[in-house]
Amino acid sequence: MGRMADDPLVAESRARMSALRARLEADEGVPVRMIETHVSWVLLARRLAYKIKKPVRLSFLDFTSLAERRRCCDEELRLNCRFAPDLYLDVVEVRRGPAGPSFDGPGEVIDVAVRMRRFADGALWSERLAAGTLGATQIDSFARGLAASHRDAAAAPPDGAYGSPAVHARTADGIVAAIDAWQSGLSSRAPEWPLLRAWLRDEVARLGLHWRERLRAGAVRECHGDLHLANVLQQGEEAVAFDALEFAAELRWIDPLDDLAFLVMDLLANGRRDLGFRLLNAYLEESGDYDGIPALRFFMVSRALVRAQVRTLRNADDDDRGGGHDAALRYLRLAFALAFGHDPRLAITCGLPGSGKTFVSQLLAETVGAVRVRSDVERKRLFGVAPLQSSRERAGGGIYDAAATERTYARLLVVARTALVAGWPTLVDAAFLRHAERVRFATLAKTLPAPFAILRCRADPRLLRQRVAARHDRGDDASEADADILERLTLVAEPLDDAELASMIDCDAGMPQEPADLARRWTALR
């Protein structure tokens, strides 16, 4: 960061960091790396890391007093022991001794630091993404863990301020003021900003009732608050979030989908829409929180604009003059694309067990950027059965009768409507073997209106039997279909009529499925 902008407190702190760095290097006999952000320094020793807050005052925090830095260090330790308990150790004092500042010597306390275990270089998701080593397995695992973390987190009081429309309005006003200030200093202003500015404020007004209902329902939780790619760490098979937002409670007591939206947006910003929507759908499957979708677009736009705001802070640094500006513009344009990228369209799958419905819908959701909901998962959720749990163990197997099927399709219809009204392409992964089931969703699409497609998934009978048997033996999918169920469903399946054939996209499991071709065929429908 630029030294020209240093005030006396920051300059003094910078000198202290240099002295601490030299002290650690002398003690350990190895180079100590120092990382600087706009609000902190991190000293990376051999096995440990020390994070020290800069004595800065910004629009969203004030670290100029030792008491506030200590409070925030204590909060950082508390919060992050939830997410990464093996990483965070304690809070240590920096003392002024006769030989200079140290973490363990005598003298007056002049600062505090969060002490952590040092993790390996290249372990951050931002680094893994750049290296091409971040994949579906890591995404799915983290989504499940994040959903569990949100489920177990404390809920905000239903009559409190956290997550309220007033907080969202204040946050939006802060974003608008920051971007306005940045744009006013440019000779050539972004043409997208006036429209985006108006959209942001219109959405705050539109979503007021939704946010009040989410707060009353206990959906607002103490979340991470700053969940971007550089704050997720891969440790072997497990990914953990760290560096949770400690300095402003109202920025972490938020809707869980707001927390998730930051990471989804960051994946999109880095050109990985496939991983972004894989993360979104894996999280929604695990949490079942489809009721939060109405505000998802607003959250993603807001997070993109926050990243733009941060980049404008870096743009003020004389070491990052062009890079910060260009990055801020990219985030602003992503925000615009998200805000005005409504494309509500509906596709349902149709096919027997083993015909590739889940594979095709997953592929299409990642390629297009769609919300997907699965009947196998939602059916079990209605009866309190985990996706990979046998319904016979929990519910006596009685979740596949006609009444249970009716409840399942009714739930799928509600979710589809919610996602479509919010402007998202929507995929419903279910058998849809009966004409009446398909008609209900075709009618929904016509009423909204939204383009409608049927993904007819089919396979050779022998291949169907092989796939069903293999999946049943593995036990790694929510589907409980076996050979007997396959045979029964084969007998009740009703063919598509002429009107349905006109909106059909044929998907043969015996042929390679090209994602771009599937996406083109679906998005071409009007």
Which helix H or strand E contains 53, and what residues bound it?
strand 48-53
In this prediction, residue 313 carries a pLDDT of 67
Give Cα 146 to chain centroid, integer Å. Answer: 9
Report pLDDT for 18: 95
Structural domains in the chain? 8-117 (no CATH), 125-339 (3.90.1200), 346-386+395-523 (3.40.50.300)
Sign of CA dihedral 105, 111, 112, 115: negative
Whole-number percent of the chain with pLDDT over 70: 96
pLDDT of 485 reads 86
* Banded model confidence at residue 228, pLDDT cuts 50, 70, 90: very high
Which residues, including other chains, have CB under 8 Å from residue 432's CB and lie 6 or more apart?
348, 349, 350, 351, 438, 441, 454
Does position 477 have pLDDT exceeding 90, yes or no?
Answer: no
Q: Tokens representing 164?
A: 């309220």
Q: For 170-214, what is each residue's pLDDT tens digit?
A: 999 999 999 999 999 887 889 999 999 999 999 999 999 999 999
User: What's the pLDDT band for 395 if we cut at 50, 70, 90?
Assistant: low
Q: What is the mean pLDDT of residues 115-121?
A: 95
Q: What is the pLDDT of residue 317?
A: 46
Model pLDDT for residues 232-281, shown as the tens digit of each residue: 999 988 999 999 999 999 999 999 999 999 999 999 999 999 999 999 99
Asked if residue 125 lies in contact with residue 262, where contact means CB atoms within 8 angstroms, the answer is no
Strongest mean pLDDT among 389-403, 438-452, 502-516: 438-452
Please tell me which residue, 112 or 106, carries the higher pLDDT value.
Answer: 112
User: Residue 4 — pLDDT band, cuts 50, 70, 90?
Assistant: very low
Put residue 474 in one of left, alpha, beta given phi > 0 → left and psi -120 to 50 → alpha: alpha
Reply yes or no: is the peptide bond before residue 165 cis, omega within 30 of 0. Answer: no
Q: Per-residue pLDDT averaged across 508-519, rounded? A: 86
- 378-393 pLDDT per residue, tens: 999 999 998 878 777 6
Residue, of 3 and 340, whose pLDDT is higher: 340
Contact (Cβ atoms closer than 8 angstroms) between residue 456 and residue 350: yes
Average pLDDT, the chain: 92
10 Å CB burial of residue 458 (0-12, 13-18, 19+) is middle
The arithmetic mean of pLDDT across residues 423-436, rounded, is 97
DSSP character at residue 167: H
Given a cut of 90, whether residue 143 has pLDDT beyond it is: yes
Q: Per-residue pLDDT tens for 267-291?
A: 999 999 999 999 999 999 999 999 9
- Specify the residue for token string 């344009």: 333
Helical segments of 217-345, H only: 256-269, 273-287, 296-315, 321-339
* Measured distance between the N- and C-terminal CA atoms of the chain, rounded to whole angstroms: 50
44: pLDDT strictly greater than 50: yes
Q: Is the pLDDT of residue 319 over 50?
A: no
Q: What pLDDT was estimated at residue 314?
A: 57
| pLDDT recorded at residue 328 | 92
Q: Give the lowest-confidence range in 154-168, 393-407, 488-502.
A: 393-407
Residue 526 pLDDT > 90, yes or no? no
Q: What is the DSSP string of 345-372?
A: -EEEEE--TTSSHHHHHHHHHHHHT-EE
What mean pLDDT do residues 162-172 have?
A: 95
The residue type of 39 is: V
- Tell me what pLDDT residue 6 has: 65
- Give the residue with greater pLDDT, 314 vs 37: 37
- Tell me, what's the pLDDT at 325? 84
331-388 pLDDT, tens digit per residue, is 999 999 999 999 999 999 999 999 999 999 999 999 999 999 999 999 999 999 988 7
Structural Rg of the chain based on CA atoms: 26
What is the chain's length? 526
pLDDT score for 397: 57
Confidence bin at 60 (pLDDT 50/70/90):
confident
